[in-house]
A = this chain, B = another copy of it.
Amino acid sequence: MTQAEGKGESVAAVENRDGAGEFLLVCEHASNRFPAAFGALGLSAAERRAHIAWDPGALGLARGLARRLDACLVHATVSRLIYDLNRPPHAPGATPAKSEIYDIPGNANLGEDERLRRVTAVYLPFHDRLHAEIARRLALGRPPVLVTIHSFTPVYFGKPRAVEFGIIHDADPALALNVLDEARAGTGLRSELNQPYSAADSVTHTLRLHATPYGLDNVMLEVRNDLIAHPQAEEEMAHRLAPVLRSALSELQRGRHRGRQD
Which residues on B sit within 8 Å (CB–CB) of A119? 135-136, 138-139
Shortest beta-carbon distance, A116 to chain B, in Å? 5
Are A89 and B213 in contact, with the CB atoms below 8 A? no
**A88 CA to B214 CA, complexed, in Å:** 7
A128 CB within 8 Å of chain B: yes
Chain B residue with minimal CB distance to A132? B124
Q: Give the B-binding residues of A (Cβ under 8 A).
A: 1, 88-90, 112, 115-116, 119-120, 123-124, 127-128, 131-132, 135-136, 138-141, 143, 205, 208-209, 212-214
Neighbouring B residues of A131 by C-beta, 8 Å: 124, 127-128, 131
Residues of B within 8 A of A90 (CB): 138-139, 141, 143, 214
A140-B116 CB under 8 A given contacts A208-B212, A212-B213, A213-B205:
yes
Shortest beta-carbon distance from A2 to chain B in Å = 12
- Taken together as a complex, chains A and B put the C-alpha atoms of A16 and B209 apart, in Å, by 26
A112 near B141 with CB under 8 A, answer yes
Chain B residue nearest to A127 in the complex (CB): B131
- CB closest chain-B residue, reference A209: B213
Nearest B residue (CB) for A91: B138
Given A123-B135, A212-B212, output 9 extra A-B contacts at Cβ < 8 Å: A88-B138, A89-B135, A89-B136, A112-B139, A116-B136, A119-B139, A120-B132, A208-B213, A212-B213
Residues of chain B with a CB closer than 8 A to A115's CB: 139
